[in-house]
Structures are given as C-alpha cells and as structure tokens.
C-alpha cells in the first residue's frame, strides 16, 4: 500500500507530530471494543458490530454487554476490563450520563482511542460542558485520545474497520478508493459518502469529529493526508478550532501534492450562529478562511453538488495543465451556456486553430467549429462522426480539459456505444487530458460511462464549474515548489531575505512617528519627514524639505489628530510652518491639556498617488492576517479588500492585490498611469513577515493611507498605527527568512 513516490512529511511543530501519530490507532486499529453493544443491528450499539462483521474487519472485536453472553454472534464481555487483550479503539455507545464512567474504564484498561457517539455534551449547555471536560481530563491523564462526543464515528474502508452508527451505510457501504472524507458534522459526512457511492467514487477513510473535545479536524486531516492510500480529502467543516494544525495540514497537502476540497459552512451571520449552537464554537471570518484556502492551494466547494462534482473528477487523477477549455457541443445553445460559464469561472475558451476548423468543416459543412466547437445536429447523421470530430478537436485544439456536450444523445444505445468507445480511445491517446462527457440519460447509461472511468455531468454549468476547480487545482499542483505559499512556523516559505534591527520596548499604543520608524526598519517605505520639538525646529525642517509640507502633532495620547486640529496641510513657506506650528501647540494645549506632546512631524505633501490601505489583524484562530484594499469610504462599503495569512512572499502579495475588484484602478484606467505594483507587493510581503515575527506582541497594524505612486516611483506610508498586545513587550524586527 505504501507509495514510494510520496515525499516525506514535514516535521510538525510542538506536540502535533505525536498527536497525529496517535491517530494511527483510530484509523488502523488491531482491536476494537463496543461498549453498550446491542444485538439489534440497527441500534446505535448494534450497527458498528453489524458493519464490522459485514465489512470483514480482521482485527479483534469485543462486544461489551454485562447482560449477555453473546452479541450478534460474538462473545460478549461484561466490562472493558474483562477483555483479555489490548484494545486500540473503544466505541462508547452509551447515553451521555453513562459516558464519563466508561471513559474512566477505558483509560484504566489502556485503550488508545475512545469514540463517543452520544449527544448531550458541550453543545447542550453547562452541564454537558462539564461532562465533556471531565471526559477529556480523564483521557488526557491516561494518554488516551477521544473522538467526539456527539459524532457519528469513523471507518477505514480498506480494512473493513467500521466504527460508526451512520444509517447511511445500512443498505450499502461505500467502496474503498482514493478519496477520504473528513467532517465535523456526522450527518453531512455520511451524506457525502452516500453521494459518492451513488457516483461510484470510492472512499478510503472516513471520520466525523463532532464536538472535537480532543481529536480535531486539523490533526485528523494531517493523518489522512500522510496516508499513502489517500490521494484526495473531502472536508466538511463548520468551524476551525485549531488554526495551527489546520495550517500545517494545508501545507502538508501542498507538499505531498495531494488534493484537498473543502466545503466550509457558517459563512453567513445566521449560519455562524447556528454553528455556534451546534458545535459550541464560534465560526471564524469567512473571507479570511477563503483567502487561506487559496493561499495554500486547496479548493473551496460552493455547494455539496459542486463538492461531489469536483471529487468525481479528482478521483480520476488528471489535472489540467492550464486554464484552456475546449467546448465540444452538439447543441449551439449549450455551447454558448458553457462559454458563459467558462468566462464566469475564469477558464479560457481559446479558439480551435484554422487547420482543425477546416478538418471538421470538411466532415460537417453546416457546423461552426470555433470554440465552442458546435458540430450541430448534423453530427447525428452518422454514428462515427462524434468520435472523429472530437478527436480532431482534441488533437488540433490541444485543450487540457474538454467538455463534450451531448444533450440527450447517449440515451439511445445507437449513440452511447460508439461515443463511449471513442472516449476510451481518445483517453488512451491523450492520457493527460480531462475529457468530460455531459449529458442527461437514465442512470444505467450514466453508470456505464462512470464504470469506464469517466466523470459524467448532467448540467452544463456544473460541469464547467467542476472543470474550473480542476484547472485551479492543476495550477497549484503543477506550480513548482512551494513558491507563493505562506509558511507554517519556521518553514521559511516567505522567500525574501532581509534583516532589520531588533527593537527593545513597545508601549501599548505607538505614536505615528514611532510606528513609522518601526515599520521603516521592517522594510515599509515612509516619507522623509522630521520630528520637530518646537516651532523653530519645524521651520528649519521645512527648509530642508520640498514644499509644500504638512505638519502633524505627535503625541501617544492623541489617536485622532484631525479632530483636535492636529493636522495642517499645504504649507508653502518655512515661515508659514513656524507660525502654524505655534498655533497648533496652542490649540492642542487647549483641547488636550493632559496630552504628552513630543512635537510636530514636518512632512512633504505627496501628490499623484492612489491611496491604499495595508492592515494587519489577529484572527483569533489563525493569527496575524494581512489585509489590502484601496482607501475611501466606497471601498469600505463594498468590502473590496483581500486577505492573506502572514507570512507570505511578493508573489503571493501580487496574487492578493489582483483579487481586488478594483484592481484595474492600480493598473491604470482612463489614461492614469499604472501604479508601482512591485513596491506595494514588497511592502505587503515585508509587513506580513514583520507581523508574523511579532505575532505574540502585536494586535493590529494600520498603514493608512499607503500612497501608491506611478510605476517606478514607489509607494509610501503616510500614516501608521501599531497596537501592541500588552504594554512593554519587545518587538522583533529582525525577520529571519530563508533566501529564495
């Protein structure tokens, strides 16, 4: 089962390595006990036994039931202690009230993983929370892992190990395969297995984590990704509790070139509050989560259907090399529909070269073989025409992905047989192309195509959406190395090397000048400006600077300078600067008599720039996140900002910038020059590295406005704010990064 081509896993930080390793006992156990085992195979305590028997688990199975000699034909034990051999997994199929005692018994027995099915824990209020905490404390003290509570269990389909009471497997179990399913929601996880089975997609491992009292999604994800039996993981998540393990898992997927497709719910405010009531945790900011998946090359599914559609294609293991899409169609209307969807989803509908056009036109004179390659109903005149023209389209068009829109033709065996034969032959000839038939036909016809190893879709838009995700995954998988990916701690993916001096002490709120000085040392450009202690020094400073200048009060006690008359713009002479500085000191001492004033900042007025905002905030789950946007209230109203988890490099910063809807404004519109995108990208990357290095010390950074000048003229921070996490902690400005 081991894949010699799989690269070695990364060394995980802290105790994560051992936490992940301990899940081997959950996913590949040699023995299992069922506490509360039932003879009734559809009861919660009965289903796991039934499944273990039906699926042929070869390890030891120990029903625990003090009132019976045998359960479902297996010898029963009065208690967990009574079991003779070691127990890797103990399934606790008891009501919530009886669970803590069972956990205690398992711990005493030396069970390696206990699974708790029952609800009635943290999700139901204080009493439940107390019960859950007690169970966790017992397990931790004994070095035993806990899955659940309030979960549907897990399975390992390769070895027939079923530790679940999901009714979705009553009639039929999934077949083993390269896709594994991990879900916080039990019902959604088993529902997904059901949908995959319907499409003939094999599922290897399956786990639901429920309340995540102990085992949480990130470590389970890491275990699955590291298994050589797993190529693709489908994840259903409501809330990420442990940012570090989740990020480590994302990085591991990238490193091992495995595919992760995520359906993350609780996007909306209502959804998030429902998630809170459901799992006892708050859902993170959805836009941040979305950006992180993109940053690490994981696919986010739009809906369950989209998730399954993408998995169906992933299971084939062919990822398009680029974003070009060929649209082969027997219906002009569907061809247009696909072209629309391709534009929406960012695929390129590049035209069929003239030689290919001519070859198809010679076979089908009324066709329109551009792209969409519309072969029209003419193609139905003779059964072999579809295969022949499709081959021309693939050979001449070179499309790495191709949808074949066949409407309802394959309903008739007259068409289904030759089409399927052609598709098989074309796959032989073009093994690196993803060729996807799209049609509506009875289930048995669809099944024939699926059994022949094709992903089959019914809906044109759904097919294009799936291929767009595949192209995106392909881009990530084919990208060399890990460039563009944020690092996990110490892995040094941030690829620009520079060192700055270390700062000693940081007050809780920094004045503008201090913040700018710190950021300047971290590599963020600031204007050439002078702190003047008095009016005369201000005049002298102004003499050295290009006119006009602005003056701004400098005080750690004044956060909003404009409101107290602490900013004067557009001063043209040194004399004016002196006079206005005096007037400002007078105003401030009236308005804020208590404020400590260090002086005024004399700063050149810069024109010709576009105002942008660079920001950093601490996501409660993932840590420092960098934000980028344009200045102005309209941007705020439209929420046109993009995010990345710190740290990242300039390439990632560029990607982040292009995600703005208003990005065109930076590229130059209406005759305006393009902005210095390199300078912005550099500043974003440096800011991210600074934020990451100081992640324990800084709560918030605001570089606003950050003025983006025309190309080649750089960009500069006109104002800056740093909010420290607590008073007087030192800030690390020497960012140690690996040279690229």
Contact positions with a second copy (CB under 8 A) in 110-139: 119-120, 123-124
Residue 607 CB neighbour total at 10 angstroms: 8
Indicate the residue among 265 and 684 with the shorter CB distance to a second copy: 265
String marking each residue 147-176 x if it binds a second copy according to CB under 8 A: --------------------xx-xx-----
Rule CB under 8 A: choose which of 38, 156, 183, 295 binds a second copy: 183
Rule CB under 8 A: choose which of 72, 99, 211, 337 binds a second copy: 337
Indicate the residue among 82 and 377 with the shorter CB distance to a second copy: 377
Residue 216 DSSP SS3: coil
C-beta separation of 647 from 486 below 8 A: yes
Tell me the window of 20-28, 131-139, 273-281, 680-688 that interacts with a second copy (CB under 8 A).
273-281
CA 637, CA 641: separation in Å to the nearest integer?
Answer: 11
CB of 265 to a second copy, least distance (A): 4
565-624 binders of a second copy (CB under 8 A) = none
Tell me the window of 212-220, 369-377, 384-392, 558-566 that interacts with a second copy (CB under 8 A).
369-377
String marking each residue 409-438 x if it binds a second copy according to CB under 8 A: x-xx--------------------------
40-69 binders of a second copy (CB under 8 A) = none
Instruction: Please tell me the count of residues contacting a second copy according to CB under 8 A.
Output: 92
Indicate the residue among 120 and 623 with the shorter CB distance to a second copy: 120
Let me know how many helices (H) and strands (E) the chain has, helices first. 24, 29
Using alpha carbons, select from 33, 57, 248 the residue that is nearest to residue 155: 57
Tokens of 330: 């027997």
Rule CB under 8 A: choose which of 29, 149, 186, 320 binds a second copy: 186
- Residue 636 within binding range of a second copy, rule CB under 8 A: yes
- Residue 559 within binding range of a second copy, rule CB under 8 A: no
394-413 binders of a second copy (CB under 8 A) = 407-409, 411-412
C-beta separation of 419 from 375 below 8 A: no
C-beta separation of 632 from 602 below 8 A: no
- Residue 275 within binding range of a second copy, rule CB under 8 A: yes
The β-bridge partners of 260 are 233
Rule CB under 8 A: choose which of 60, 74, 244, 274 binds a second copy: 274
Rule CB under 8 A: choose which of 443, 490, 593, 607 binds a second copy: 443
C-beta separation of 397 from 326 below 8 A: yes
Indicate the residue among 129 and 304 with the shorter CB distance to a second copy: 304
Indicate the residue among 367 and 485 with the shorter CB distance to a second copy: 367
Using alpha carbons, select from 165, 159, 127 the residue that is nearest to residue 147: 165
Tell me the window of 30-38, 456-464, 575-583, 711-719 that interacts with a second copy (CB under 8 A).
456-464
- R_g over Cα of the chain: 31
Indicate the residue among 122 and 179 with the shorter CB distance to a second copy: 122
Rule CB under 8 A: choose which of 340, 498, 611, 713 binds a second copy: 340
Instruction: Tell me the HSE value of 425 on the side-chain side, using a 13 A CA sphere.
Output: 14
CB of 490 to a second copy, least distance (A): 35
The residues, ordered by sequence, that sit 6+ positions from 299 with a Cβ below 8 Å of its Cβ are 259, 260, 261, 262, 293, 310, 469, 472, 473
C-beta separation of 336 from 464 below 8 A: no
- Residue 447 within binding range of a second copy, rule CB under 8 A: no
CB of 660 to a second copy, least distance (A): 10
Indicate the residue among 333 and 353 with the shorter CB distance to a second copy: 333
The residues, ordered by sequence, that sit 6+ positions from 4 with a Cβ below 8 Å of its Cβ are none
DSSP3 helix / strand / coil % (the chain, rounded to 5): 40, 20, 40
* φ and ψ at residue 415, rounded to 5 degrees: -100, -35
- Residue 198 within binding range of a second copy, rule CB under 8 A: yes
Residue reference for tokens 């499409």 = 199
CA 185, CA 191: separation in Å to the nearest integer?
Answer: 10
- Residue 562 within binding range of a second copy, rule CB under 8 A: no
CB of 286 to a second copy, least distance (A): 9
CA 502, CA 382: separation in Å to the nearest integer?
Answer: 77
Residue 674 DSSP SS3: coil
565-to-13, 590, 631 alpha-carbon distances in Å: 50, 11, 22
Indicate the residue among 5 and 670 with the shorter CB distance to a second copy: 670
Tell me the window of 178-186, 532-540, 613-621, 650-658 that interacts with a second copy (CB under 8 A).
178-186
Burial level of 511, CB count in 10 A (0-12/13-18/19+)?
buried
Tokens of 687: 């800011």
* φ and ψ at residue 129, rounded to 5 degrees: -60, -40
CB of 303 to a second copy, least distance (A): 4
String marking each residue 648-667 x if it binds a second copy according to CB under 8 A: -------------xx-xx--
Instruction: Tell me the HSE value of 135 on the side-chain side, using a 13 A CA sphere.
Output: 35
Indicate the residue among 337 and 642 with the shorter CB distance to a second copy: 337
String marking each residue 660-699 x if it binds a second copy according to CB under 8 A: -xx-xx---xx-x---------------------------
Check residue 710 and report its DSSP letter. B
């Amino acid at each position: 089962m081991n894949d010699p081509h799989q690269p070695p896993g990364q060394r995980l930080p802290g105790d994560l390595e051992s936490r992940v390793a301990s899940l081997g006992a959950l996913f590949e156990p040699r023995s299992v006990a069922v506490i509360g085992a039932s003879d009734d195979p559809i009861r919660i305590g009965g289903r796991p036994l039934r499944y273990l028997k039906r699926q042929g688990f070869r390890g030891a199975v120990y029903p625990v039931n003090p009132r019976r000699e045998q359960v479902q034909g297996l010898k029963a034990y009065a208690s967990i202690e009574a079991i003779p051999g070691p127990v890797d997994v103990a399934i606790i199929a008891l009501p919530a009230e009886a669970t803590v005692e069972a956990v205690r018994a398992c711990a005493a027995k030396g069970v390696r993983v206990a699974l708790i099915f029952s609800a009635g824990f943290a999700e139901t209020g204080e009493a439940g929370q107390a019960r859950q905490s007690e169970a966790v404390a017992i397990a931790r003290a004994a070095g035993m892992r806990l899955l659940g509570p309030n979960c549907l269990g897990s399975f390992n389909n390769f070895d027939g190990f079923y530790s679940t009471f999901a009714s979705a497997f009553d009639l039929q179990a999934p077949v083993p395969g390269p896709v594994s399913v991990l879900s916080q929601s039990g019902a959604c996880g088993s529902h997904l297995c059901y949908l995959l089975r319907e499409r003939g997609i094999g599922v290897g491992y399956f786990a639901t984590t429920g309340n995540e009292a102990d085992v949480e999604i990130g470590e389970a994800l890491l275990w699955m990704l590291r298994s050589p039996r797993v190529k693709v993981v489908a994840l259903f998540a409501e809330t990420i509790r442990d940012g570090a393990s989740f990020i480590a898992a994302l990085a591991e997927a990238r490193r091992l070139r495995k595919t992760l497709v995520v359906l993350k719910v609780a996007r909306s405010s209502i959804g998030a509050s429902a998630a809170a009531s459901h799992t006892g945790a708050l859902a993170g900011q959805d836009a941040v989560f979305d950006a992180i998946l993109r940053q690490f090359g994981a696919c986010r599914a739009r809906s369950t259907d989209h998730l399954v559609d993408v998995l169906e294609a992933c299971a084939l293991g062919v990822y398009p090399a680029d974003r070009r899409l060929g649209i082969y169609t027997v219906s002009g209307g569907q061809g247009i529909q696909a072209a629309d969807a391709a534009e929406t989803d960012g695929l390129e509908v590049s035209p069929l070269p003239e030689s290919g056009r001519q070859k198809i036109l010679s076979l089908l004179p009324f066709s329109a073989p551009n792209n969409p390659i519309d072969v029209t109903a003419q193609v139905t005149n003779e059964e072999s025409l579809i295969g022949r023209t499709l081959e021309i389209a693939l050979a001449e068009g070179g499309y790495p992905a191709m949808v074949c829109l066949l409407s309802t033709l394959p309903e008739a065996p007259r068409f289904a047989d030759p089409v399927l034969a052609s598709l098989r032959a074309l796959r032989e000839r073009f093994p690196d192309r993803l060729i996807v038939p799209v049609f509506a036909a009875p289930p048995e016809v669809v099944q024939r195509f699926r059994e022949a190893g094709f992903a089959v879709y019914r809906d044109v838009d759904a097919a294009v959406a799936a291929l767009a995700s595949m192209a995106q995954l392909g881009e990530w998988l084919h990208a060399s190395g890990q460039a563009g990916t944020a690092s996990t701690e110490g892995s040094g993916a941030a690829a620009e090397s520079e060192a700055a001096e270390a700062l000693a002490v940081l007050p809780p709120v920094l004045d503008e000048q201090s913040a700018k000085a710190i950021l300047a040392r971290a590599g963020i450009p600031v204007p050439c400006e002078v702190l003047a202690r008095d009016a005369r020094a201000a005049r002298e400073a102004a003499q050295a600077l290009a006119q006009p200048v602005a003056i701004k009060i400098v005080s750690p006690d004044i956060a909003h300078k404009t409101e107290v008359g602490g900013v004067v713009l557009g001063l043209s002479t040194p004399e004016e600067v002196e006079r206005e500085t005096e007037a400002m000191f007078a105003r401030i001492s009236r308005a804020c008599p208590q404020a400590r004033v260090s002086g005024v900042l004399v700063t050149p007025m810069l024109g010709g720039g576009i105002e942008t905002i660079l920001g950093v905030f601490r996501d409660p789950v993932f840590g420092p996140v960098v934000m980028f946007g344009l200045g102005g209230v309209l941007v705020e109203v439209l929420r046109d900002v993009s995010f990345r988890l710190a740290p990242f490099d300039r390439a990632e910063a560029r990607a982040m910038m292009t995600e703005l809807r208003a990005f065109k404004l930076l590229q130059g519109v209406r005759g305006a020059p393009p902005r210095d995108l390199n300078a912005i990208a550099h500043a974003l990357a440096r800011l991210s590295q600074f934020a990451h290095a100081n992640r324990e010390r800084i709560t918030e950074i605001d570089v606003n406005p950050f003025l983006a000048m025309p190309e080649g003229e750089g960009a500069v921070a006109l104002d800056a704010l740093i909010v420290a996490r607590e008073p007087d902690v030192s800030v690390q400005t020497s960012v140690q990064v690996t040279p690229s």
